[in-house]
Structure 1
């Protein structure tokens, strides 16, 4: 079969894809804005791309985009009932501190939850719970957090609403002659097989490959290695700080541009949180600072303070009735992304000081107030409990570890109703989601209509406030979806999909059809690890359908290979947002994802490639 000629329009679209790929990988521009830029470029270059303005923005009205938006809101409605936290209590009871049972329960609970509820909030809730369970069992949380993320991804293959990529694939299925969108449970048998194989791997081979990066019961100050940046000064009677207000001292430090923060004032055995205190400093006070060694020496001389005691500041010293330390991950759609702690005014608005930033393998402890925050950054915070709660309630961070608090959930004699209370609306919210799934599964109404109806029901019944419904949506994902969808249209109209399909069809001359199917799985999986699963589905789905048609295979089988491969971005922390969320709390390195996720991705490539013909034909 001859490869179609490459037209000018095809080259323009390929060039746009190449630029988009570079931007997706480097993240010079946020992925959602890259996608919108692609949308604009396609419309501006309509004579070459064949995508007029109306078609360029059609992604915002796509059933997949609207359904995903609605599912975020439905997930938030369920989340606010407290039912996920209650699952955590039962999980603690079930495991009893045994590592094997804890790992199995984590994988099972997370995976099954992710089949119905958006997996990002599930993982956000489970990270602190699993960390607490690991502490109680005296095992490294690193042994559990990566399997937690992988289980959420595997669980997304169980139902149509499990992931955004499934819903996108359902849109592409409409383009296959003779069939409509994918049914709610149409590929569930294959999803169950994938989940079982993945879970078995994580409990055996994966368990041995997963490293212990964070020592069991490690203090946060030790984990972030900030001991050299935390110092305590005494205030003698002749110190220049005697009689000075804490607020005035803060302002003076800021005016000097000092790389230092006053964290705590201790007086007569009682600790005061400096950011929220209106105390006047007095002789005999003990001050705790975050400061570099050079700045500490300068403050010591400048204000006539007494010599600090080296190495005596720990979590215990920083946790008082008025303050705490906490580990928190910056979420992908957080308002903090692109801001610095200073520009976000964390100290003023939330009584919060950032002590250190973990970014991949890098640990940033100097001039942290000027560090531009990114999604996935893990922050060590010193704050009031209310400040931490406020940041989490806004959806800016997911608090993954607090030295005190989460272990209360694990006490054997604790009452579930006290540590994880359920909302009075729990039956209503769960019932609404069940009705949405049931209506879509039975084909009574399309999934997009069922989901939107569920959103209305959530608000009308009081399960969710309108403001919370809007806040629940990850708008960056919505814009990413709407922006990349026109790329698939352009690939088809310019013949780009046919060109790539023609090249792949040539492989069918030397490879059996099932091997070509496996090739699509591998290629899509590799793309998903670097350019997000959503973009990989948009790029590969039209090519897969075209290729299958040309080699007389079932296009739906090839579309399923792309769909399942997009949910298998195990090899990089940037492949899927839950991978990014556990990166810092687990203390992982980039290579850990390759070591643990690589064999899993290869295993599933074989399993899915062989199972698709068995379940659906080829």
Structure 2
């Protein structure tokens, strides 16, 4: 093997090994590979072009400007906006209204929803969009989260196989015009005749056998925390955890948590909301505040004292 070949193998194998060992994040590993390839070419090693052509080092970054990458970025932006403006919470309410407390029905609904969303967006983005709804449904119904989250993963993969808008399909379509001889890029529905049948068969299997084959695991502490003491133990907090009751005339009533600017303006974090004797942990910002809610807030003394200006009784 030549020096160039050995170098390329090493910068591929070492970061991937670190990723498998959970020592390095996937995105950092990818950027590290690109940077190392560019540096090698810049200093005369011919890994991206002829040796001693430093201008070819820019090829290491050309992939970030391809239509495929821009498409994936756009899909993630759309997903973030849907989650920020409460679509996931609305989706959870609608799915619960249809599925009730039936485990099999909810498994099928969440798998089907993820599959339908992945027809029009990236598989990972579709799964991320439905995930908060599944956690909310699991908390409300008492169904173990593993029973709903795994069907979402399978549903997203099955639905993604039926259209163009999946990472692997997008990348493959982008490579076809570069082939020799060049091939026409794939269309959105070119995968549907075969991928659609696979998706339907997979969803039917999940609905029929998922209840019996899916693991029955207990949820993590964050999802079952039910008291102030448990939240303090979960987050390892002591004197910095505050309780702030929302007065009926407060400006925060009926506002979404993200609209209150409690975090951005005051530097505080809302961990949960207590209604009666139950504490509901907040793992997303699209949460509506009601009068007489008790917000569990973490932050410094002087910042927590400023909550009284918002109509909160600390």
The interval holding the TM-score normalised by the smaller chain is 0.5 to 0.7
Partner residue in 1 for 2:110: 106
Determine helix, strand or coil for the equivalent of 2:239. Answer: strand
Give the alignment partner of residue 261 of structure 1, picking from 221, 238, 255. Answer: 238
Partner residue in 2 for 1:349: 267
Match runs of 1:461-540 below 5 Å: none
Select the structure of larger CA radius of gyration: 1
**How far apart are residue 261 of structure 1 and its match?**
0.8
**How far apart are residue 133 of structure 1 and its match?**
3.3
2:107–2:207 CA contact under 8 A, matched in 1: yes
Partner residue in 1 for 2:149: 145
Structure 2 runs not aligned, ≥5 long:
50-55, 248-262, 276-280, 291-314
Q: What is the CA–CA distance in structure 2 between the aligned matches of 1:80 and 1:219, rounded to whole Å?
A: 20
1:176-216 Cα distance to aligned partner (Å, 9 max, x none): 3241222111112222123123223322444322122127x
Q: Which has the higher contact order (CA 8 A, sep 6+)?
A: 1
Query: Are the structure 2 counterparts of residues 219 and 68 from structure 1 closer, same or farther at C-alpha, using a change threshold of 3 Å?
Result: closer
2:92–2:137 CA contact under 8 A, matched in 1: no
Query: Are the structure 2 counterparts of residues 33 and 100 from structure 1 closer, same or farther at C-alpha, using a change threshold of 3 Å?
Result: closer
Query: Are the structure 2 counterparts of residues 142 and 32 from structure 1 closer, same or farther at C-alpha, using a change threshold of 3 Å?
Result: closer
Partner residue in 1 for 2:16: 21
Determine helix, strand or coil for the equivalent of 1:49. Answer: coil
Partner residue in 2 for 1:35: 30
2:88–2:133 CA contact under 8 A, matched in 1: no
Determine helix, strand or coil for the equivalent of 1:48. Answer: coil
Determine helix, strand or coil for the equivalent of 1:126. Answer: helix
1:11 aligned to 2:23?
A: no
Query: Are the structure 2 counterparts of residues 349 and 119 from structure 1 closer, same or farther at C-alpha, using a change threshold of 3 Å?
Result: farther
**How far apart are residue 110 of structure 1 and its match?**
1.6
Q: What is the CA–CA distance in structure 2 between the aligned matches of 1:132 and 1:36, rounded to whole Å?
A: 35
Give the alignment partner of residue 164 of structure 1, picking from 159, 164, 167. Answer: 167
Q: What is the CA–CA distance in structure 2 between the aligned matches of 1:53 and 1:228, rounded to whole Å?
A: 51
Partner residue in 1 for 2:64: 60
1:528-581 Cα distance to aligned partner (Å, 9 max, x none): xxxxxxxxxxxxxxxxxxxxxxxxxxxxxxxxxxxxxxxxxxxxxxxxxxxxxx
Q: What is the CA–CA distance in structure 1 between the aligned matches of 2:212 and 2:204, rounded to whole Å?
A: 12
1:192 aligned to 2:190?
A: no
Query: Are the structure 2 counterparts of residues 219 and 153 from structure 1 closer, same or farther at C-alpha, using a change threshold of 3 Å?
Result: closer
**How far apart are residue 43 of structure 1 and its match?**
2.2
Q: What is the CA–CA distance in structure 2 between the aligned matches of 1:109 and 1:144, rounded to whole Å?
A: 12
**How far apart are residue 127 of structure 1 and its match?**
3.2
1:501-549 Cα distance to aligned partner (Å, 9 max, x none): xxxxxxxxxxxxxxxxxxxxxxxxxxxxxxxxxxxxxxxxxxxxxxxxx
Match runs of 1:417-496 below 5 Å: none
Partner residue in 1 for 2:48: 50
1:175 aligned to 2:152?
A: no
**How far apart are residue 229 of structure 1 and its match?**
4.5
1:114–1:152 CA contact under 8 A, matched in 2: yes
Q: What is the CA–CA distance in structure 2 between the aligned matches of 1:26 and 1:173, rounded to whole Å?
A: 34
1:351–1:384 CA contact under 8 A, matched in 2: no
Q: What is the CA–CA distance in structure 1 between the aligned matches of 2:85 and 2:187, rounded to whole Å?
A: 28
Q: What is the CA–CA distance in structure 2 between the aligned matches of 1:96 and 1:114, rounded to whole Å?
A: 24
Query: Are the structure 2 counterparts of residues 160 and 17 from structure 1 closer, same or farther at C-alpha, using a change threshold of 3 Å?
Result: same
Give the alignment partner of residue 69 of structure 1, picking from 67, 73, 76. Answer: 73
The count of residues paired between Structure 1 and Structure 2 equals 254
Match runs of 1:221-236 below 5 Å: 221=225, 226=230, 229=233
Match runs of 1:256-295 below 5 Å: 261-262=238-239, 273=243
Partner residue in 2 for 1:468: none
Query: Are the structure 2 counterparts of residues 91 and 260 from structure 1 closer, same or farther at C-alpha, using a change threshold of 3 Å?
Result: closer
Q: What is the CA–CA distance in structure 1 between the aligned matches of 2:216 and 2:194, rounded to whole Å?
A: 32
**How far apart are residue 24 of structure 1 and its match?**
2.3
1:111–1:154 CA contact under 8 A, matched in 2: yes
Query: Are the structure 2 counterparts of residues 172 and 392 from structure 1 closer, same or farther at C-alpha, using a change threshold of 3 Å?
Result: same
TM-score w.r.t. the length of structure 2 is 0.65
Structure 1 runs not aligned, ≥5 long:
1-5, 231-258, 265-271, 278-319, 323-344, 353-380, 394-398, 406-618
Q: What is the CA–CA distance in structure 1 between the aligned matches of 2:88 and 2:238, rounded to whole Å?
A: 37
**How far apart are residue 165 of structure 1 and its match?**
2.5
